[in-house]
Homo-oligomer: A and B are copies of this chain.
């Protein structure tokens, strides 16, 4: 595939770029009125995720409207447990809920390793998006990191502490590893299917990394991220583990290309810790985008200066908040695109 704009791929591979590429986590979403219109047409979130034509439409919206340097397929990390037989429902204003949870060896009999064919609605959406993008920008695929998926499958819903999920790591590590293995195998097959359908790079989201201790993280999360990174050789891989400041050095021993940073990380400190061989992605506080455009410009320029021109992809340190004014998002993107190092 030849891209008209391949800045993000070059940045991920460590090649020179004329300027810093930029995209936003959750750019295809509620910040755009055009998204909200499609979402309403779909009726509910899961229908939107499972209807390739609609998913492709909202995936491309931010490329057209915001001018970002990459699209990311509109989907949800929870499609993997869904395809493993652990169905989720998305409850308006409350989040995901799993009517059946998986908490012991016996429960494992009720689920199975996901068959990518059961996730054809995602790979079809990817293929359709790639076709419609027609080489304008690359499309990013993604999946949840095994620990984060494990947290939802065991807890059954979002949680401040995920104490049910974490408890299992201490009380039944054998079960925890068995489930994590199943998720890992499912995720590798799923990401490979996304790549086969046209995803030009992939990102692993470890949204609940930050609730584990460093020792638990090494045992129950990063070891499975490592396995996935090793398995994905086709395209650049990004690891974004929110709150896992303690694992940065560990990620540099994996075969990933880009390390995502949340807004708690100091750019210079992160660069010192990861060295020169990895691309960094992030890490503006999403709340900055509530500020006036001139403040956004000033703070974004400070961030760009801190990260420097090489091996860097500008982004927020978390998904953009749904009530962010779209003009403010544009100010962020425009600042990155016009910045001269």
Contact = CB atoms under 8 A, between A and B. Distances in A.
Contacts of A210: 243, 264
Nearest to A295: B170
A339 interface: no
Contacts of A288: 170
Interface stretch (A30-38, A39-47, A160-168): A160-168
A121 interface: no
Contact of A290 (B160, B167, B245, B295): B167
B171 A290 contact: yes
Which size bracket describes the interface of A in this complex?
A: 20 to 34
Copies of this chain, count? 2
Contacts of A167: 287, 290-291
Given A245-B245, A264-B210, A264-B243, A216 B285 contact: yes
A292 interface: yes
A214 interface: yes
Counting chain B CB atoms within 10 Å of each CB, which of A160, A163, A210 scores highest? A163
Contacts of A264: 210, 212-214, 243, 245-246
A171 B263 CA distance: 18
Contacts of A295: 170-171
A61 B301 CA distance: 55
A175 interface: no
A219 interface: no
A183 B171 CA distance: 43
Given A163-B321, A245-B264, A246-B264, A170 B291 contact: yes
A15 interface: no
A215 to B, nearest CB: 8
Contact of A287 (B166, B243, B317): B166
B243 A213 contact: no
Contacts of A214: 264-266
Contacts of A243: 210, 243, 264
A290 B168 CA distance: 9
A174 to B, nearest CB: 13
Nearest to A165: B287
B171 A292 contact: yes
A213 B246 contact: no
A292 B295 CA distance: 52
Nearest to A172: B291
A23 B265 CA distance: 31
B246 A290 contact: no
Interface string A183-226: 00000000000000000000000000010111010000000000
Interface of A: 160-161, 163, 166-167, 169-171, 210, 212-214, 216, 243, 245-246, 263-266, 269, 285-288, 290-292, 295, 317, 321, 323
21 contacts: A161-B286, A161-B287, A166-B285, A166-B287, A167-B291, A169-B287, A170-B287, A170-B288, A170-B291, A171-B290, A171-B292, A210-B264, A212-B285, A213-B263, A213-B285, A214-B264, A245-B246, A245-B264, A246-B264, A246-B266, A246-B269
